[in-house]
């Protein structure tokens, strides 16, 4: 079974799950999932994990993400982006490039952020956006997120539009960032456009469109990236036939050194067999086995 990661250029409009459904229609795809939701109004890099690679989703989520964001000031949105109901919220005439740049350091680093009401985060076992659509007020709690870098590219004072580049860790909402920046400027703001330009090593310039993948027929696998890409920075352990048999049975093998942590386990043909963690007995315990 062919497994790996597709770097898909998601268009604005469909949900991330709709993109995954289209990938599932490709020849040879049994399972597929994405490695980080993009809102319907957003476009750009969407990692799609195919077949056995779906078991590595947590590690793709750990990759940093980079965005090109357009924020409109003086207007707010109940969803935080252009999909929602827009409401004038203040006079943006006093907003300037200098004022925005002065504020950006306070939104950089490890910060506290309240997720949008319309988000896929669950509260009481149900997605917040479902509650919001029914008119059930639910205030999500602030949570820590990390913004690695935040830079203003340009500001258009006539249309009160700011274009920014944002690099962040997992769980950060650019919609919340746009809202909070507008609040700090005293006039409100919303995310009027968003493009994700990179997820870890996946760049927008290399991403494939859905029509191109569909038109390729069985040749779509040409664009399939190695399944072990999220694990490339981990140390690896090459196993012999005896070790491979043990791992396939779900049994542990001796760890190579005293170092704790996570390891890639490689079979004699050089293929990724599993990933494992060192346990208290200094054994490599398999957490996911990819071939049988």
CA distance to 3, 81, 256, per residue, from 247 (Å): 20, 47, 15
SS3 238: strand
Helices (H), the chain: 16-23, 57-61, 97-103, 128-133, 174-185, 210-215, 241-248
Tokens 């590595």, residue located:
56
Distance between CA atoms of residues 147 and 167, nearest Å? 6
Contact 113, 146 (CB under 8 A): no
CA–CA–CA angle 2, 247, 52 (5° rounding): 20
Q: Per the residue annotation, which of 39, 43, 81, 180 is the catalytic one?
A: 39
Beta strand spans in the chain (E): 4-10, 32-34, 43-50, 65-73, 75-77, 86-88, 109-113, 122-123, 126-127, 143-156, 161-168, 189-199, 202-203, 236-238, 253-254, 262-266, 272-278, 283-289
d(CA 94, CA 136): 35
Rounded CA-CA distance 79/174 in Å is 12
Residue partners of 77: CB distance under 8 A and separation at least 6: 83, 84, 85, 86, 87, 190, 191
39 catalytic, yes or no?
A: yes
C-beta of residue 203 within 8 angstroms of C-beta of residue 45: yes
CA-to-CA distance for 228 and 242, rounded, in angstroms? 22
**Active site positions, annotated:** 39
């Amino acid at each position: 079974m062919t497994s790996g990661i597709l770097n898909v250029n998601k268009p604005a409009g469909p949900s991330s799950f709709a993109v995954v459904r289209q990938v599932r229609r490709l020849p040879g795809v049994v399972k597929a999932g994405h490695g980080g939701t993009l809102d319907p109004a957003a476009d750009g890099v969407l990692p799609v994990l195919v077949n056995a690679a779906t078991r590595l989703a947590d590690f793709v989520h750990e990759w940093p993400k980079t965005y090109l964001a357009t924020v409109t000031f003086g207007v707010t949105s109940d969803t935080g982006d252009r999909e929602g109901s827009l409401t004038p919220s203040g006079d943006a005439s006093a907003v300037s490039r200098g004022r925005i740049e002065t504020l950006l350091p306070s939104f950089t680093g490890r910060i506290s952020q309240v997720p949008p009401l319309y988000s896929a985060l669950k509260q009481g076992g149900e997605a917040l956006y479902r509650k919001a659509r029914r008119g059930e007020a639910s205030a999500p709690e602030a949570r820590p997120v990390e913004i690695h870098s935040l830079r203003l590219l340009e500001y258009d004072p006539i249309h009160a539009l700011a274009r920014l580049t944002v690099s962040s860790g997992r769980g950060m909402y650019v919609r919340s960032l746009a809202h909070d920046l507008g609040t700090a400027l005293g006039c409100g703001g919303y995310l009027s456009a968003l493009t994700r330009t990179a997820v870890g090593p996946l760049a927008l310039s290399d991403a494939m469109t859905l029509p191109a993948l569909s038109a390729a027929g069985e040749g779509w696998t040409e664009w399939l990236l190695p399944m072990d890409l999220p694990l490339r920075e981990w140390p690896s352990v090459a196993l012999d036939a005896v070790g491979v048999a043990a791992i396939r049975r779900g049994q542990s093998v001796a760890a190579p050194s005293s170092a704790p942590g996570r390891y890639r386990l490689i079979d004699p043909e050089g293929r990724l067999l599993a990933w494992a963690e060192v346990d208290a007995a200094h054994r490599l315990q398999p957490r996911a086995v990819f071939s049988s």
